[in-house]
Amino acid sequence: MSVKWEIIFYETEKGDCPVRNFIEKKKEKNQAKIITAIQYLGKTGPNLPRPYADLLENGIYELRIKIAEDDGGTQTRILYFFYDRTDIILTHGFMKTTDEVPEKEIAKAKKYRDDYISRKK
C-alpha cells in the first residue's frame, strides 16, 4: 500500500504563508516550475532522490529547483519537513547564492516546524 502524501503550506499564527509569498513573487513560468516540483514531491514523499531533494539536518529537507536567472538566480530552494506520517509541510523558500544552505534558512525552517507542531498538539 502506498502512502498518499498531503502538501501543506505552513502558515504563521497570524495567517502569513512564507512559501506562498515566495512563489507569488516569481514570474509565472517559474511559478509553474516550482509548483510542478512540489507536485512531484507530493507523489514521491521521502523517496524523492537527489538532485530533486536532499536532507539538510534534523528532519529538515530541501526541494531543489532550477529556474531562469532573470528571476534572481538559478538555485531555488523550498524547505520542508514530514509530519504525522502523511503530511509534507513546506516552510519557506529562498534563492540559494552560496554552496551551502545558509544556517539562518535552516534555523527558520526549524522555528516554523516547532511552531507548527506546537499549534497542532
Q: What is the DSSP letter of 59?
A: T
Hey, what amino acid is at 82?
Answer: F
The whole-angstrom separation of Cα 113 and Cα 10 is 8
Q: Which domain holds residue 80?
A: 6-120
Low-confidence ranges of the chain (pLDDT < 50): none
Task: Estimate the share of the chain in helix, then strand, then coil, as percent rounded to the nearest 5.
Answer: 40, 30, 30
| Domain assignment present for 93 | yes
Number of compact structural domains in the chain: 1
The verdict on residue 84 lying in a domain is: yes
Residue 1 placed within a domain: no
* Domain contains 13: yes
| Residue 51 within any structural domain of the chain | yes
Give the pLDDT score at 2: 67
CATH number for 58: 3.30.2310.20
Rounded distance between C-alpha atoms, residue 19 and residue 67, angstroms: 16
Bridging pattern class, strands 87-96 and 6-9: parallel
Burial degree of 87 (CB within 10 A; 0-12, 13-18, 19+): middle
Residue 105, in any domain of the structure: yes
pLDDT at 67: 86
Q: What is the pTM of this model?
A: 0.93
